[in-house]
Structure 1
């Protein structure tokens, strides 16, 4: 019977108070304070354990759609949407949209998992596949949303959606996604509608002015920052310092349609801007996002939290640099609900102890093990840089060839 109890020993665990060197216990998919006598133990000396990252904004079903390569910078997102309409007629876009939507949604989940994001806010209509027990990532649930003030034909109506959302749950909307007067006027318009409150989560906010940010902080609302998408579409992004210092800023990728490849790339983009330190970027993708999105069991490794983790090598110095500056292929293991879902080959015994069947894959040129439930060949074919390993590659990795080359 698979072990439901695991101890991660000799690693540095990232906590809000600093780095703990105490063993991290997992029982039944949650962080625990004790370990059953028969539990499996993992030696992680010279490693760091971070909470699973939270991607506070993605459109999961369009991550395989090629981006628009001309026309930027746009004055606002509505101009980009109009420019994108003819792009749907291009063969590459049409081919990408031929994949069934359930598969495209799963692909968006897998894209996030491969980069250490174990929980995602999907800003689009719900789909039954998102309720599947084997969906690659956890999802923000029971929240309200509208798409944008200037695009009423898609998604729930703004005021009706806001009023229907419980005050203890987040309500999300794209807002001020632009640099022109249209974008700059949107916060005041939302406020006039009565839809700016402590549970309002505003996506992008590039056009927010100083008085707008002050108003956001007075109301207790928050912003999700997607700098790579903003720079690609608008040529500009917001200055994050005031919102970060107030604890009102989370990090999101948008989708690959307009944004970064994954949350690690988003961190590198934000780091290059020089406004925030690596540890602050990690906070935005863990503790800040969990608080803003009302996800008390995510974003930390406190007792009782979901045992979602990213394990990396300790590079020395600032611990956050060991995560915020790396590529996804450098992650040693991604853990969800206490069991590995993607990891380097030397974690094979942990997969076995957890009762998780694996498939050998190549991720950006590096051999990895992927949980078999995530290894649908059609899904893997959608993800650039991911492929099933050949028998020769499996032998080179030292794995049991028969298990991976049937």
Structure 2
């Protein structure tokens, strides 16, 4: 992150909203964490008529492909393997070639920025690790202590199935795409995973569209969990899983699966499921905060208790159900997103907060609305990848020349 003064802060007169309810207590920040108290010299932020939410957790994204044009609409695919096969010819189109020539490090930063703009401060990236992800100024937090395999039907990409599962400590999550389809191939995958000895309490199954009711009960009995990506499922498969049973027992999280197949961001995923699956707004909040943190074994995220990372989303209190002030809004309606207690993107009237934190900010437009963005995130090449984000009038728009790198990874 930026070189800055680690200024303590007290967020006053706002309501803090978590899965435990709404609290009117002042939220204190010290050294990037939620504090039980803070020095009287701390910077005071008056947030009357606002709500503070924990930073959201995106339980599934492929950060490096969010600028790759999606496959043109087809009839629903029977499974993800058929979609992958259809995508092979798409790799040769000029738009995809140009997107994949961008350096992977830049594409990873773009995927992180996309999430941050929508209030997502932590992501589970389901692909090989890259040195960029360890950079101090990477825009978001990442799931780190985990194991993974890619999919049963694509064994040549990523770590081998049984070896990676065996190498993952039981108190760390192990991720795999599973049952991503509606046909017999997808429907058979849970039983196959179990036969391989890879269904346990730390197994996190991505998608699960092909899971039967009996399969879901088996997942619950083993203490495993599912990451639900409804936007991607509906776009590729024409169907998604029924989330109610898994959600009711705390074994469901929400993911966006990247713009290659899914919604623009997690906020749009939330908006797309409101009133459609008999889930309350509180349950939807849990999918992207407390339940996601529990499933991904991240005890210091998803809440606002002392000791938690001071990653927050601040919105205007719209009245009524507090959840509706976040669940269902557009990203441009967010008043501020904080990482480690420091503003990263805010409305312009929070300019003093940037200054107090020792962070340079630049004026930008996000979907046409004026914002302030941390200067470290306003790299021209990075902003050029994000539709709807641009420097405000009078700011330099000259992008540096980039060294292109090939490959699809």
Q: CA deviation at 1:272?
A: 4.9
Q: Deviations over 1:206-249 (max 9, x none)?
A: 00001100000000000000000000000000000000001000
- Structure 1 counterpart of 2:278: 275
Matches within 5 A, 1:360-375: 360-375=363-378
Work out whether 1:59 is the aligned partner of 2:83.
no
Count of matched residue positions in the alignment of Structure 1 and Structure 2 = 393
The answer to whether the 8 Å contact 1:48/1:311 transfers is yes
**CA displacement, residues 183-223 of structure 1 (integer Å, 9 cap, x when unaligned):** 00000000010000000000000000011000000000000
Which sits farther off after the overlay, 262-271 or 273-282? 273-282
Asked if the contact 1:3/1:40 (under 8 Å) is kept, the reply is no
* Unmatched 5+ stretches in structure 2: 397-409
Alignment of 1:54-203 (within 5 A): 54-203=57-206
- 2:26 corresponds in structure 1 to 23
**Deviation of residue 308 (structure 1)?**
0.3
TM, length-normalised to structure 1: 0.95
Q: Secondary structure at the match of 1:320?
A: helix
Aligned to 1:401: none
- What displacement does 1:350 show? 0.5
Residue pair 2:34, 2:305 contacting (<8 A) in 1 also: yes
Look up the match of 2:400. none
Aligned alpha-carbon RMSD (Å) = 1.1
Distance 1:143 1:219 in 2: 18
The whole-number CA distance in structure 2 between the counterparts of 1:3 and 1:136 is 17
The 1:392/1:295 distance shift into structure 2, 3 A limit, reads closer
Displacement, 1:18? 1.0
SS of alignment partner, residue 325 of structure 1: coil
How far apart are residue 385 of structure 1 and its match? 0.4
SS in 2 for 1:324: coil
Q: Which runs of 4+ in 1 moved over 3 A?
A: none
TM-score (norm 2): 0.95
1:214-229 to 2 correspondence within 5 Å?
214-229=217-232
Residue from 303, 306, 331 that aligns with 1:303: 306
Deviation at residue 70 of structure 1 after TM alignment? 3.0
